[in-house]
């Protein structure tokens, strides 16, 4: 996500001690939620960039009730996972992959989100046909 910092269309916050964020009205990407759909167009998107292990602590910083949504099933990350101590969910994507895909579903397709992603080619090649259109 670091190469995306400084873009005028994205905001970044660092969750330091005491950090809270009012997530009411936002779409929060979550693996265990109903699927994101074009019906969600127009709502702001909240993406928590974290390792899976620390995600619960980050979610605890959220106030309000975000609308939890998942990405389509069957999409695999191109990011090479290497953790020997923690198992990531099978449906989990790299944050930049999730952001790109969510923006496509929300009709805000922006291929430049992947410009600096090392595994861009592999990710796009492995998208199911329904996710490519």
Per-residue pLDDT tens digits for 76-99: 888 776 655 655 555 578 899 999
- pTM of the predicted protein model: 0.83
Domain of residue 29 covers 2-132
* pLDDT score, position 51: 76
DSSP string covering 42-80: TSPEE---S-GGGHHHHHTTEES--EEEBPPTT----S-
Checking if the pLDDT of 10 tops 70, the result is yes
Domain count, the chain: 1
């Amino acid at each position: 996500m670091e190469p995306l910092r400084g873009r005028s269309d994205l905001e970044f916050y660092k969750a330091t001690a005491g950090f809270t964020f009012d997530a009411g009205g936002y779409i929060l990407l979550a693996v265990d939620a109903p699927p994101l759909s074009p019906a969600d167009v127009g709502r702001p998107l909240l993406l928590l960039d974290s390792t899976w292990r620390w995600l619960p602590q980050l979610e605890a910083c959220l106030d309000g009730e975000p609308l939890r949504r998942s990405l389509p099933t069957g999409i695999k990350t191109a990011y090479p996972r290497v953790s020997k101590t923690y198992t990531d969910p099978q449906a989990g994507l790299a944050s930049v992959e999730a952001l790109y895909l969510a923006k496509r579903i929300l009709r805000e397709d922006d291929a430049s989100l992947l410009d600096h992603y090392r595994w861009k080619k592999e990710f796009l090649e492995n998208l199911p046909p329904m996710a490519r259109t």
